[in-house]
């Protein structure tokens, strides 16, 4: 457990934070982060806006989208030629549109998600086989 010093001010150097090593200080300094205030106010360089959830019927190839639905089927597997581990799932939305989800090298996903789970997924939509859409990690 990490307990912060209650006397630690926002203008205190990051070196006074617990578990900050010299290597961490150098990396933070390279980002322009020298004080606790700098660390708290550091904003990400960029982000992706996926927007409001869309039904599968409105998806287009190459678009960024969020889809909410229910897991219809999920199972770990191995690719045919390169023998990569993967988890493949089928998500069905409220309008009965189906979206294939693929996670490469993340077989743990099959243990976390189960048939019937309601999930929201976001990512780039790709046109798969037989005019079906899919999202990959």
In whole angstroms, what separates CA 98 from the centre of its chain?
21
Q: pLDDT tens, 39-80? A: 999 987 777 788 899 999 999 999 999 999 999 999 999 988
> What are the extents of the domains in the chain?
7-47, 56-136
- Read off the pLDDT band of 108 (50, 70, 90): very high
Output the pLDDT for position 4.
58
CA proximity to 90, closest of 115, 108, 59, 124? 115
Pair 13, 34: CB distance under 8 Å: yes
Lowest pLDDT segment from 2-11, 35-44, 84-93: 2-11
For residue 44, the model assigns a pLDDT of 77
17: phi then psi, degrees, rounded to nearest 5? -70, 145
Work out the mean pLDDT of the chain and round it to a whole number: 90
Pick the CATH number of 56-136 from 2.40.50.140, 3.40.50.150, 2.60.120.10, 1.10.3470.10: 2.40.50.140
Q: Please, what is the Cα angle at 97 between 92 and 93, to 5 degrees?
A: 40
Give pLDDT, residue 62. Answer: 93
Task: Please give the Cα distance from 25 to 2 (Å, whole number).
Answer: 18
Place of tokens 């927007």: 51
């Amino acid at each position: 457990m990490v307990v912060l010093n209650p006397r630690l001010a926002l203008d205190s150097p990051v070196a006074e934070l617990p578990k900050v090593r010299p290597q961490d200080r150098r990396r933070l300094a390279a980002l322009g982060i020298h004080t606790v205030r700098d660390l708290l106010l550091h904003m990400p360089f960029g982000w992706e806006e996926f927007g409001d959830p869309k039904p599968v019927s409105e998806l287009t190839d190459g678009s960024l989208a969020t889809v909410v639905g229910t897991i219809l089927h999920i199972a770990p597997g191995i690719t045919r030629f390169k023998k990569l581990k993967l988890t493949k799932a089928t998500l069905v939305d409220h309008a009965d549109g189906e979206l294939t989800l693929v996670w490469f090298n993340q077989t743990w996903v099959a243990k976390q998600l189960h048939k019937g789970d309601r999930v929201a997924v976001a990512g780039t939509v790709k046109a798969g086989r037989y005019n079906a859409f899919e999202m990959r990690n």
